[in-house]
Chains A and B, each alone.
Chain A
């Protein structure tokens, strides 16, 4: 018995060692998890708490804590808002009250962890006032409101199909709109007495749908779409979630599924889809599984699986604000209501692509014109670096930062200063080599500690390590 145990251990040991060797360090996981789940950097306190924790299961504990956080819900709300094109003005033209209600609806689905199939059913079977039945905004956000356009968008969002050729759009031909006397209130309703289409409705996979007279024809289609038997529906979400975590889908682009576009790892996709279906379309559990996966815990490429990605525009802009504690203010000049966001609002929480700033535009905030994930461009440009290197706006922020001034007052030497700034910006402590580098910079240039602090902060905000999720 003992022999068998030893034998098994001997077999297992090399793989365990190998796994540990491929694993990223705790400080890397910490930053990666925060940025992926919440779109925000950990605070210094949060970073220290995790780094100094001796809990052997601390990664899972952190993931659980993060997935339950308000920041995680709001960040996930932004991702859905991007692909549902939530925007006050052109081209969605949902208007501020509709935007606000729609965002709240998504937030509530996420807060209650409504199963994905149920959420899509509610979204697609919506009708009523855009203020009181917020999901109905789904049908309002089209420049050209036609069953064909609704259907093309549904295919893109939920089946990753960019080129739909069947006539399922007929199921959406009852959708109508009626304005009210309230400013920008609009009722989405169904003309259920419409005469049944004379054509047979046959979907691409050969399924024939038979809508009933005096009924909501969408029901037939949505039941087919969201059924666990429609594996593609689940696969597309699983792959999208993977894309949200890694910046690259198992099928890539995540919204371009066709015969020629094969998954890079079919087995992985199958396993995750099975897991998702077994757990009744639970998106939070799925995200947790991905975050605890070997791949998400691996070292960054080229040593490991994880491909570094430039932080999204909103995340960079928020990180520049949170590290200096000097925040941009946002307002919407779209009537009505003309809105001033409360101070310290994160740009990831704006909820409306019409609201923007020069910095957000510079780093490529999504304008929500289309439902494609590729609308987000995270490549680095010389203009973005120019802003970080030499804008007086950022320079003043660093110089006026009360956080940095406090760090200076509390630090007696360069080593303490380096640790404090590194924890704030890079979510880790400084290495001895880095401290030596900073000391050399101070002595060579004969700078007071406060000026060294400004230079270190500038340097870290300009570094590859800050700009990328590793």
Chain B
């Protein structure tokens, strides 16, 4: 009898997860270094200069009651398309541990190194994803500060495009090589064939043949930004970030399940406000263009867009030397923007106090956010992953630990919380 009940529960959970899939792809826009929540999605204009620094105002958005940073006017026109999480928290102020927490959802401090959620999605989609392009792509490179493959191994790590999408020719490493045309590569392949004969190299030969198709096939055109009109390219902004976001939209359009757009320079210990003055308009332009463009292509409903970094920055400005107006690392409170793929628009989840130093409402832990993304992607956040020597491990160990999880984000997704979940 117990067996039957268990099977039934498993079956129900499976059906629930299988039908719950809302999103086909994820675009993670990762602000490496840790962006300031105060200048982006949790502004505190009334906290005074010691907290709000040189900035004075906010942008009122098109959703009543939601305000965001004053340097984000374009994003302010489309708050109905995204939700803001203002109560992200993990408490770590170190880049590597904060990064690990936000990219794996694991805060259990066990001896096990978890894979990044991009790698997990790549692993989970290994049988169902049939595209020619890799399942998990980083534009232009992943953060290699820890092993993103974790215990799943190298196979599920991201494919790094390399190159400069903002230049005339986006040279994707291994695909676009302006020095060698198709004819020359074919001649070289013939030379290699003559050199090796047919001795013991069936595996290499078939991999090479696949690569030749890959290099000259449709993937090449996906990466070719010349297929976009000038006006579209300009809308995204002619920066690394802007054009990377455009590449991301094209990849999602081609069916790639996980795209990581990593942008650096957010670790603003010094000259914080000067740097924000140039970095935020770039971000505003790129992300607003991406959301609008995804929507126009009918892709926003099936694509999760996430924006954030490894932590936030100290709400209190460090006016003293040597910082002279900087913000330090802050893992206690920070913000994430989420949109599409089942995330609702026009919502704010959680809140911080007057100065932004403490979460006062609905804390969100890393595993809650990552688990919700899994759920929307049709992956059971309470499922398991195989480990080479430890057997099956929970996909998100922290989701099961007291004090490490506050529950999945049912408040801001279009899936109802099932009654069996507390």
Contact = CB atoms under 8 A, between A and B. Distances in A.
Interface of A: 89-91, 93, 142-144, 149, 162, 334, 354, 356-358, 361-362, 364, 367, 369-370, 372, 374, 377, 380-383, 385-387, 389-393, 395-396, 399, 434, 437-438, 440-441, 445, 455-456, 458-460, 462-465
B4 interface: no
Nearest to B146: A90
B6 interface: no
Nearest to B155: A381
A369 B389 CA distance: 13
A455 B208 contact: no
Contact of B389 (A144, A372, A385, A456): A372
Given A162-B389, A383-B134, A463 B179 contact: no
B195 A445 contact: no
Contacts of A399: 179
A278 B99 CA distance: 50
A370 B113 contact: yes
A435 B59 CA distance: 71
Contact of B110 (A144, A362, A367, A385): A144
13 contacts: A89-B146, A90-B96, A361-B157, A367-B147, A369-B146, A369-B151, A374-B388, A381-B155, A386-B214, A389-B185, A389-B211, A390-B177, A391-B177
Interface-central residue, B146, B151, B199, by most chain A CB under 10 Å: B146
A113 B162 CA distance: 43
A459 B134 contact: no
Nearest to A444: B187
Interface string B179-198: 11000010110111011100
B207 to A, nearest CB: 4
Interface stretch (B168-176, B232-240, B373-381, B400-408): B168-176
Nearest to B161: A358
A230 B234 CA distance: 71
Contacts of B180: 390, 395
Contacts of A382: 207, 210-211, 214
Contacts of B157: 361
Ordered nearest first, which 7 A-B pairs have the shortest CB separation?
Answer: A367-B147, A386-B174, A369-B113, A89-B96, A392-B177, A382-B207, A90-B96
Contacts of A358: 141, 144, 160, 162, 173
A314 to B, nearest CB: 14
Contacts of B2: none
Contacts of B196: 463-465
A90 B97 contact: yes
A392 B179 contact: yes
Interface in B130-182: 134, 141-142, 144-147, 149-151, 153-155, 157, 159-160, 162, 171, 173-180
Interface residues of B, number: 55
B178 A437 contact: no
B146 A367 contact: yes
A386 B195 contact: no
Given A374-B388, A390-B185, 5 more contacts: A369-B113, A382-B211, A390-B175, A392-B173, A393-B162
Contacts, number: 139
Nearest to A393: B173
Contacts of B1: none
A249 to B, nearest CB: 16
B215 A385 contact: no
Contact of B191 (A383, A391, A437): A437
A330 to B, nearest CB: 12
Contacts of A364: 154
B305 to A, nearest CB: 25
B154 A390 contact: no
B416 interface: no
B3 interface: no
Contact of A385 (B173, B178, B195, B204): B204
Given A391-B174, A462-B192, A354 B211 contact: no
Given A144-B111, A358-B173, A463-B192, A383 B147 contact: no
Contacts of A149: 111
Nearest to B204: A464
B203 interface: yes
Contact of A377 (B141, B154, B162): B154
B159 to A, nearest CB: 6
B191 A441 contact: yes
A149 B109 CA distance: 13
B179 A389 contact: no
Nearest to B138: A358
A149 B203 CA distance: 41
Contacts of B188: 455, 458-459
